[in-house]
Structure 1
Amino acid sequence: MNQSNESLRTLAVDIGGSGIKVMVLDTKGNPISDRQRLKTPNPAKPKDVIDTILTLAKEQEFDRVSVGFPGVVQNGLIKTAVNLDDDWLQYDLATSLTQLLTKPVKVANDADIQGFGAISGQGVELVITLGTGFGSALFINGRLVPNLEMGHHPFRKGETYEEQLGRATLDKEGVKKWNNRLQKAIAHLGHLFNYDILYIGGGETDNIKFDLPSNAKIIPNILGLLGGIKLWN
C-alpha cells in the first residue's frame, strides 16, 4: 500500500443479527460515503454473510477494512456467535476477508467498536447495545477491556441479560415488561461496575419509555460504523 496514512479510506462494516451495514470513512473517522445496508442472511452462515459483505463492498472504494462482529473476537478469530450460526466458531474472519477483498482487515466485537465511537476516554465508561441480542463493552480511561460479553452473564430468574432483554423477548413479553427489566439491568450494572457514564445503543433504544439516570445516555447506531476507524489508530 503506497498511499500515505493521511489519505487512507476505511470501509467500516457492522454485522448485525438483522442487517449488515457498510460505510467508508476518512482517516479522521468522518463518513465519505452513504451508509449501505442489506438484510443479514438466514441462516447467517459464514459464506452467506461474507457474500453479503462482498456485495456491499464492491460498490465502494477503500484501502482497508474494519469489521464489527456480534460475538467474542480474538485476533480476527470468531469465538462466539450466539445470534448468527455455530459454523462461525473458530472461523478466521479477518484472514478470509483480507484474501477476498485484497485489503488489510481488522475484526472486533461490534459493541467494542460502537463504544470506541462513543466514549470520552475519561473514567469508567460502559456501553450496552440493545438489538437482536445484548452487547456490551467496558472502557477504563479510554482503554478497552475486550470481549466483556455481559449479555451472556446471569441476570435474573435464572436467565442472562440477553435472554431477558433480547429482541425475541421484547416481541414476546411486550414493551412494558421489557422496560421494567431494562431499568433493573441498568441498576444492576451500575452497582457492578460503578461506571461514570453508561452509553446505550442499538435498534431497540427506540422502545425505552422511562427517564434514564443522569449518567446514562442513548447513542446513535451509526457509531457502530464510525468507531471502526479506532481499530487502525
Structure 2
Amino acid sequence: MALITLAIDIGGSKVKASTLNEKGAIVQDYIKLPTPDPATPGNLIKTIKELVKGFQYDRISAGFPGYVRDNIVHTAPNLGSGYWNRINLADLLTKALGKPARVVNDADMLGLGCMQGKGFEMMITLGTGFGTSFFLNGKLLPHLEIGQHPCLDNKTYDQCIGQKAFDHLGKKDWNRRLEKILKILKTTFNYDHLFIGGGNAKKITFELGNDMSIVSNEDGIDGGVLLWRQ
C-alpha cells in the first residue's frame, strides 16, 4: 500500500503543512497558519491540529526550529527554549493526530530533500534565525546548532544574519555581512556543496560560488518522505 506522508514545517512565524506520496510528489499543497504566540507545546499542537484537519495521511514528518535529537526537542531559540526543554514532539504529534511521527530540525528536513548524495554537503537556512544541516554521501549527520555559535563581534549567527539583523541593517549591509559569513563557513567546514534556503535566501544580491545553490521549500519538498528512509 502506498503511504502518504504529512510534512509539517514549523517556523518562527508560520506553520506549514502538505501531504506527499512515496515519490515525494505533492498530494495536497502547502497551507499555513501563523505560529502561535506564545509557542508552547500545547499551543503549537492546537495550531497543527487546526491546520491539518481534513488531510489524509499515514505518517508524519515534522521540521522544528531548534536542537532535536531522537525526536526530542531540547532547545527552541526562536520559539522559547523554556517551553521546549526535553519535549518529545513526535510523541505529542502521534497522540494528537493518531499516526506515527518523526521530528528533526527544520534545516535537516529541507536538506534531506535538496542533497545530491555526493560527498560532504551543507544546508543553511536564512529566516527568523540561522539553521544548518550536514550530510555525508546522502546520510544525515548529527545536528549542530551552529546558529547559536559566536560568529562576528561576539554575536551568534542568529544575531548576525537572522531576521532581526536584516530589519536593522537593511538589505545592502545584510548582504555584506552574509558574504563574510559564507567565507567563514567555507573555511570552517570545507563542504563540497552548500545549499542556501529559507525565506531570506531570495534577498541575496551578490554572486555565489559554483559550489553554492539557492533552494526553495519546493526544491526540498520530499525531505519529509526521505526522513522515513534514513
Same-fold call, TM cutoff 0.5 = yes
The CA deviation at 1:163 is 0.7
Instruction: Work out which of the residue numbers 167, 170, 182 in structure 1 matches 2:166.
Output: 170
CA deviations 1:13-36 (Å, max 9, x no partner) are: 000001000000001111111111
- 4+ runs of 1 displaced by more than 4 Å? none
Rounded to whole Å, the distance in 1 between the matches of 2:84 and 2:181 is 29
Match of 2:183 in 1: 187
CA contact under 8 A between 1:68 and 1:224: conserved in structure 2? no
Listed as ranges, the gaps of 5+ residues in structure 1 are none
Match of 2:55 in 1: 60
Which moved further from structure 2: 13-22 or 173-182?
Answer: 173-182
Amino acid at match of 1:113: M
Rounded to whole Å, the distance in 1 between the matches of 2:55 and 2:3 is 13
**Helix, strand or coil at the partner of 1:44:** coil
The CA deviation at 1:147 is 1.3
Q: Percent identity?
A: 46
CA contact under 8 A between 2:66 and 2:76: conserved in structure 1? yes
**Helix, strand or coil at the partner of 1:43:** coil
Q: Mapping of 1:90-109 within 5 angstroms?
A: 90-109=86-105
CA contact under 8 A between 2:45 and 2:96: conserved in structure 1? no
Count of residues in Structure 1 that have an aligned counterpart in Structure 2: 228
Instruction: Work out which of the residue numbers 1, 11, 15 in structure 2 matches 1:16.
Output: 11
The CA deviation at 1:176 is 1.3
CA contact under 8 A between 1:119 and 1:125: conserved in structure 2? yes
Q: Mapping of 1:24-63 within 5 angstroms?
A: 24-63=19-58
Listed as ranges, the gaps of 5+ residues in structure 2 are none
Q: Mapping of 1:76-91 within 5 angstroms?
A: 76-85=71-80, 86-91=82-87
Normalised by the length of structure 1, the TM-score is 0.95
Normalised by the length of structure 2, the TM-score is 0.96
Instruction: Work out which of the residue numbers 110, 119, 142 in structure 1 matches 2:138.
Output: 142
Amino acid at match of 2:39: A
Which moved further from structure 2: 138-147 or 108-117?
Answer: 138-147
CA contact under 8 A between 1:23 and 1:225: conserved in structure 2? no
**Helix, strand or coil at the partner of 1:33:** strand
